[in-house]
Amino acid sequence: MSKSIDMAEQILQIENVDPKELHGPNDKYLELVKSMFPKLKIIARGDFVKVIGDDDEIEYFSSRYETLMVQLERFGKLTAQTVEDVMMASTDSELQRKMSESDVLVFGRSGVPIKAITANQKRMVTASEQKDLIFAIGPAGTGKTYTAVALAVRALKAKQVRRIILTRPAVEADEHLGFLPGDLKDKLDPYLQPLYDALRDMIPGTKLEGYLEDHTIEIAPLAFMRGRTLDHAFVILDEAQNATRSQLKMFLTRMGRSAKFIVTGDITQIDLPPRTPSGLPQAMEVLKDVKGIEFIYLDDKDVVRHKLVTDIINAYKRHHEEDTIQEDSPSTSSGTVNLTETEGA
């Protein structure tokens, strides 16, 4: 006579993620999960998953399945490998190790993984995880702005912050705003376009529009930061070399509770008017020994654009150094050399 076995049952609710994304195209990931747990009966309907089987097996499955949902919410995308890593990890420590080995910051709109590629970009990632304020200094094309935006989007998806604020000095616009058509936003948006471009690579269009409308993501010129306290936010100041000394000090003192700040800039591309000193070199000197702040210096080895960009950067660097030597010479009249090509990093 066969002995009946009591089967446990649990219903899991899918929250904060799309069940279609969780289960994959044509339920590919769901079928993969079922194959990993042959002793369980797994039934998915809408926002709910019913699991029938042994108590211990269900408990283990539930824990991993909830982690899988968190992973999807954080990165916005799953892969078959991620599903296997999460569902088959034998211990929590093994799961954490596998997840930490992944260098994906976010998945782009087409599912393309966005990663820190170079050594200094990876240093930016590590520093951002350990410090609340980092400076990323380097020439155009080194990916400092793109990496910073990816870190901000990752933090938002992981609910580590409530909002993202991206800002840059609109120094190029100052003399021409009155002649441009449209309201203030229309006039300023072209100068903030590199930040919009990075966001469009990482967040689906409709979702990005929603974030911009409800101010979960805000893009504004640096002058708009005055008088504010930026709490629970990931804040990026781009093109910081074009902030004056008073502007940069003003920005840095906006940091509120549970905030992360990244400042990016290139001291060889200062567009400020003559005799208006940039605040970035001063900040690099004044803050270099302050605990909780880290400076990351990127160089030509971090350039991820066309191979000619590295040669162009090095040529301008040599020219800038030669001019600096001439300016420091007693026989040379004083002057300022600005390399004014705008960075699109």
The 3-state secondary structure of 81-112, one letter per residue: HHHHHHHHCCCHHHHHHHHHHCCEEEECCCCC
* Residue 319 predicted with pLDDT over 70: yes
* Residue 343 predicted with pLDDT over 70: no
Judged by average pLDDT, the poorest of 5-14, 31-40, 120-129, 264-273 is: 5-14
Locus of tokens 């449209």: 182
Read off the amino acid at residue 329. S
- 61-65, 216-220, 283-287, 320-324 — which one is most confidently predicted on average? 283-287
* Residue 274 predicted with pLDDT over 80: yes
Q: What pLDDT, in 10s, does the model give residues 100-112?
A: 545 678 777 766 7
Q: What pLDDT, in 10s, does the model give residues 27-54?
A: 999 999 999 999 999 999 999 999 999 8
Instruction: Give, in order, the Cα–Cα distances in Å from 270 to each of 13, 240, 265, 279.
Output: 53, 9, 9, 10
pLDDT more than 90, % of the chain: 42
CATH number of the 113-328 domain: 3.40.50.300
> What's the predicted TM-score (pTM) here?
0.65
Rounded CA-CA distance 10/41 in Å is 11
Instruction: Give, in order, the Cα–Cα distances in Å from 153 to each of 67, 162, 273, 305.
Output: 19, 11, 34, 22
- So what's the pLDDT on residue 4? 47
Q: Where are the domains of the chain?
A: 8-102, 113-328
- So what's the pLDDT on residue 7? 79
CATH number of the 8-102 domain: 3.30.1370.10
Rounded CA-CA distance 186/31 in Å is 49
